[in-house]
Amino acid sequence: MSGQRVAIVTGASRGIGRAVAVRLAASGTAVVVGYAGRAEAAARVVDEITAAGGTAVAAQADVGDEHAVAATFDLAEKTYGGVDVVVNAAGLMVLSPIAELDLDDLDRMYRTNIRGTFVVAREAARRLRDGGSVVTFSTSVVALQFPTYAGYVAGKSAVEGITMILARELRGRQITVNAVAPGPTATDLFLDGKDEATIERLAKQPPLERLGQPDDIAGVVDFLTGPQGHWVNGQVIRANGGIA
């Protein structure tokens, strides 16, 4: 596998993470398809990649569990020789007004969205090969400030802070660290619990007048982790069709 780039993509069993894994594999990158609980879905992603001539293996890990995340990096190093790209697409979103938010849900979001980002970033900082890339995931709602998103936005604001600091801490290693902040994107995470009128209203908000698609976001990640995007570092890319 000498010379082949290797990527770990968390949250890769569905949605944006799946699209990122497939896109990176199509670019010739060996991909570790990280998943929390959807083993069959992750296996289908691996099958899709290999059927198209790519290289992939699945790895189960709760991103908030530092031992499971370390084991995912171990698998990548044992199977492919190292890690060049880390994309942390795992996320959890529970929507509720602040006055009604169940604090257990807040804790669950904290574990996945803040602790999980920190755990993955810490392991990447320790083990990523020089010249590599890290991409975290924020949300454009940090700027849009939609009601009911407070718990989610609190975590994603922390993600942006972690990302900016990591970019500066990795000085001298030629590693880029950026956050992608999608707007409304047609994934299960976004669509669950929304009626058609709400979805239609959100789709009309950007000047491009549609929801984002997972492939739209995967293209941004492919750019940021490839040689053509290597001058972009320490940035939050708001990929949202111009909504804000």
CA angle centred on 150, ends 215 and 108, rounded to 5°: 80
| Max Cα-Cα span within the chain | 54
Reply yes or no on whether 149 is catalytic: no
Catalytic annotation, pick one of 80, 110, 149, 152: 152
Q: Which ranges of the chain does DSSP label H, i.e. alpha helix? A: 15-26, 39-51, 66-80, 103-109, 116-127, 141-144, 150-169, 188-191, 196-204, 214-225
Contact 83, 129 (CB under 8 A): yes
121 φ/ψ angles, rounded to the nearest 5 degrees: -65, -40
Q: How many CB atoms lie within 10 A of CB 104?
A: 9
Q: Among candidates 95, 199, 101, which has minimal Cα distance to 148?
A: 95
The residues annotated with a catalytic role in the active site are 152
